[in-house]
Amino acid sequence: MKKLLFTLTAIVLFNFSSFAQSLEDPKGEVRLNFLNTIIIGSVEVGYEHFISSDQSIGLELHFNDRFNYKSTSGDKDFSATAFLLSYNFYFAGDENGKLHISPFFKYRTGDYSDTLDGAPRNVNLDSGYLGLTGGYRWNFNNFAFGPFVSVARGFSQEVNDVFNAVEFKAGLNVGYRF
C-alpha cells in the first residue's frame, strides 16, 4: 500500500512539474467527437501529435461509423469501423484558438444491411476516402474544443451505388492536450 501511494505521489508531482510546459508547447492531444456520439451513436476518438505549433499528424478510430447521417430506422443496420489519418494545419489565430484545415485519408470497413423490394441486401462498406476537414479549435487550460465540417469522396462503386460518392460530416471535438 505504501509503495502504491508513493508511486501515485511521484506521478502526480511529475505531472505538475510538466504542466506549465505542456500549456505552452503541447506534444499531443486526445479527443472525442462529442456531437456525433450523442446524435448518431458513432464513437469517434482521435490522437493528434504536434510536429510544430501549427502542424500535426492525426489518427482517428470511428466505431459504429455511419455514412453521412443516414438513418438506421426500420430494417437498416450499419456495422462499420473506420480509420482516419490526417495532416493538420493551424492558422489565423493565437494560442487561445486557431482555424484549422486538414486533408485526410479514411478507410471504412464493415457492412450495411437493409431490405430492398422485400429482399435482404448486404453492402460491403470496405472503401477508401479522400477528404478535407475545416474548423476552429479553442484552447483553455490544456482542454481543446471546437466545431468542424468535412467532405470526402469515396472510391468504391458498390458503396457509391447505395450511397452518394461524396460524404459530408460535421461534429464538435472535445479534447485534452498534454
Report the alpha-carbon angle 136-137-140, nearest 5: 145
Q: What is the CATH classification number for the domain harbouring 117? A: 2.40.160.20
Amino acid at residue number 123:
V
* pTM reported for the whole predicted model: 0.82
On whether residue 15 sits in a domain, the answer given is no
What is the percentage of the chain residues whose pLDDT exceeds 90? 65
Helix, strand, or coil (residue 75): coil
| In-domain check, residue 9 | no
The model's pLDDT over 17-74, given as tens digits with 9 standing for 90+, comes to 444 444 568 899 999 999 999 988 899 999 999 999 899 999 999 999 987 666 555 5
Q: Per-residue pLDDT tens for 92-128?
A: 999 899 999 999 999 999 998 888 888 888 999 999 9
3-state secondary structure of 50: strand
Residue 57 lies in a domain: yes
Residue 164 placed within a domain: yes
The structural domain count of the chain equals 1
Q: Compute and round to an integer the Cα radius of gyration of the chain.
A: 20
Predicted pLDDT at 10: 54
Provide the residue range defining the domain that includes 33. Answer: 26-177
The verdict on residue 30 lying in a domain is yes
Q: Residue 43's pLDDT is what?
A: 95
